[in-house]
């Protein structure tokens, strides 16, 4: 259940509602928005005294939520959506600006990261990415990351990307595999943690991330239904964590030409219907083909993504991992320029999107009249003849 406070509700009014709910032994989570503050209510809300709550000063509306992912669900109405905003370092996520997170698949050396950071910054990217430990299904696959051998090596790799990010005024995102190392990433100065697809359902890791203040990019598992995915995201949010970015990186599909099948429909569903959390698209992993990253990233923006994850390298031909899907420096620069234009287009045409919830009440009032106007008076078959609905006279025999 969501308690929506009126525009201009005072802090005292909001606190009073929260205090009452806690006295009634419900858990609450406050979500301040631009115009309204929402208060999430968790527990057996069937027992909540809705009338008493609704009569409190400053309360505008009580919204029932039927979905199982109570915290991740969209908190607004069909015509008045609510979206979370939060920072990654000095970059705002979920606001009015598009955010590009770019960098190599893996951290390979200090010089490589410094050069990569310069290229990403010059291209117009906002956040620097890189991995210290890579997943490999086969022990013979080769490079497993600069931090794969020991914690000391991992710390050294983190030092490389954090230093490169600071040098070029870019916050950094690094994937984490081990819940026991969260404090190591925090102490190293990492600005955002990433959960890769193989760990999308890692209960121990997701539970541990409840306790960090760092934002989290959570990549959707390649076999997860969108709402099942949101339940795994919900696991991180139990104690009130809200700074989470959803990331579509492709699902298992019939195509053998692309690495995965990018589910643009789910990005649209996340943005327009299911959740208040910002959505990202990772077309690098979604296609596995550097020449397809550009068009699919642009498609993701129009579908609803406001965060873009892109792999780029000073020279993908010498990259130690995923070079085949990694952009050349010129490509990342051109892509960022193209994303700016598509973002402007999306903002320009946003008013043309009309949710069904805004129209259904109008058309519901017209159902009876339109049914008769469009289809004529309905006829009911009786025995061997027909009766005109509402008429009572026997029609011609069949």
Give CA 202 to chain center in angstroms. 18
Q: Is residue 360 part of a domain?
A: no
Shared domain for 22 and 127, answered yes or no, is: no
Give me the pLDDT at residue 384, please: 54
Shared domain for 108 and 8, answered yes or no, is: no
Shared domain for 56 and 93, answered yes or no, is: no
Contacts of residues 313-319 at CB distance under 8 Å and 24 or more positions apart, as own/partner, are: 313/104, 313/105, 313/112, 313/116, 314/104, 314/112, 314/115, 314/116, 314/119, 316/290, 319/104, 319/105, 319/106, 319/108
pLDDT digits (tens, 9 = 90+) for 270-319: 999 999 999 999 999 999 999 999 999 999 999 999 999 999 999 999 99
pLDDT digits (tens, 9 = 90+) for 113-139: 999 999 999 999 999 999 999 877 778
| Residue 165 lies in domain | 86-350
Shared domain for 265 and 165, answered yes or no, is: yes
pLDDT digits (tens, 9 = 90+) for 310-364: 999 999 999 999 999 999 999 999 999 999 999 999 999 999 999 988 888 898 8
Q: Is residue 91 part of a domain?
A: yes
Asked whether residue 383 carries a pLDDT value surpassing 80, the answer given is: no
Structural domain count of the chain: 3
Shared domain for 230 and 344, answered yes or no, is: yes
Map tokens 């943005």 to a residue.
271
CA distance 313 to 327: 6
CATH label of the domain that carries residue 145: 3.20.20.70
Boundary of a domain, candidates 31, 63, 95: 63
Shared domain for 30 and 106, answered yes or no, is: no
Q: Give the tokens for residue 160.
A: 């490389």
Shared domain for 336 and 385, answered yes or no, is: no
Q: Give the tokens for residue 188.
A: 């190293």
Contact yes or no for 339/301 (Cβ under 8 A): yes
Q: Is residue 71 part of a domain?
A: no
- 183 by Cβ neighbours in 10 Å (0-12 / 13-18 / 19+) ranks as exposed
Shared domain for 189 and 323, answered yes or no, is: yes
Shared domain for 48 and 118, answered yes or no, is: no
Q: Is residue 121 part of a domain?
A: yes
pLDDT band for position 398 (cuts 50, 70, 90):
very low
What's the average model confidence in pLDDT over 105-110?
A: 96
Give me the pLDDT at residue 29, please: 84
Give me the pLDDT at residue 137, please: 76
pLDDT band for position 173 (cuts 50, 70, 90):
very high
Shared domain for 300 and 238, answered yes or no, is: yes
CATH label of the domain that carries residue 44: 3.30.70.1140
Q: Is residue 398 part of a domain?
A: yes
Lowest mean pLDDT among 1-15, 22-36, 82-96, 221-235: 22-36
Shared domain for 378 and 253, answered yes or no, is: no
């Amino acid at each position: 259940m969501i308690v929506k406070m009126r525009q201009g509700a005072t802090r005292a009014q909001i606190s009073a509602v929260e205090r009452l709910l806690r006295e009634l032994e419900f858990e609450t989570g406050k979500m301040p928005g631009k115009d309204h503050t929402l208060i999430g209510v968790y527990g057996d809300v069937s027992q909540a005294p809705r009338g008493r709550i609704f009569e409190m000063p400053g309360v505008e509306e009580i919204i029932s939520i039927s979905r199982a992912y109570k915290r991740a669900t969209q908190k607004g109405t069909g015509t008045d959506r609510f979206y979370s905003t939060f920072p990654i370092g000095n970059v705002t996520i979920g606001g009015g600006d598009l955010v590009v997170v770019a960098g190599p698949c893996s951290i390979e050396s200090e010089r490589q990261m410094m050069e990569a950071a310069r290229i990403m910054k010059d291209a117009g990217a906002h956040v620097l990415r890189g991995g210290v430990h890579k997943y490999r299904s086969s022990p013979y696959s080769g490079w497993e990351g600069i931090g794969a051998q020991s914690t000391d090596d991992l710390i050294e790799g983190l030092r490389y990307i954090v230093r490169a990010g600071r040098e070029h005024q870019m916050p950094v995102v690094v994937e984490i595999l081990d819940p026991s190392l969260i404090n190591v990433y925090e102490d190293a100065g990492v600005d955002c943690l990433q959960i890769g697809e193989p760990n999308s359902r890692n209960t121990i890791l997701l539970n541990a991330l409840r306790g960090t203040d760092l934002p989290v990019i959570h990549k959707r598992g390649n076999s997860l239904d969108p709402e099942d995915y949101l339940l795994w995201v919900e696991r991180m949010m139990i104690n009130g964590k809200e700074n989470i970015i959803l990331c579509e990186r492709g699902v298992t599909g019939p195509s053998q030409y692309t690495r995965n099948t990018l589910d643009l429909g789910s990005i649209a569903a996340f943005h327009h219907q299911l959740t208040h959390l910002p959505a990202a698209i990772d077309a690098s992993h979604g296609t596995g083909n550097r020449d397809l990253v550009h068009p699919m990233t642009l498609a993701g923006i129009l579908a609803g993504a406001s965060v873009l994850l892109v792999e780029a390298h000073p020279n993908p031909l010498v990259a130690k991992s995923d070079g085949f899907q990694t952009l050349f420096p010129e490509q990342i620069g051109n892509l960022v320029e193209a994303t700016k234009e598509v973002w402007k287009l999306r903002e320009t045409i946003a008013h043309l999107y009309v949710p069904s919830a805004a129209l259904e009440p109008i058309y519901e009032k017209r159902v009876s009249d339109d049914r008769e106007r469009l289809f004529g008076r309905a006829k009911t078959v009786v025995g061997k003849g027909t009766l005109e609905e509402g008429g009572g006279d026997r029609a011609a025999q069949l």
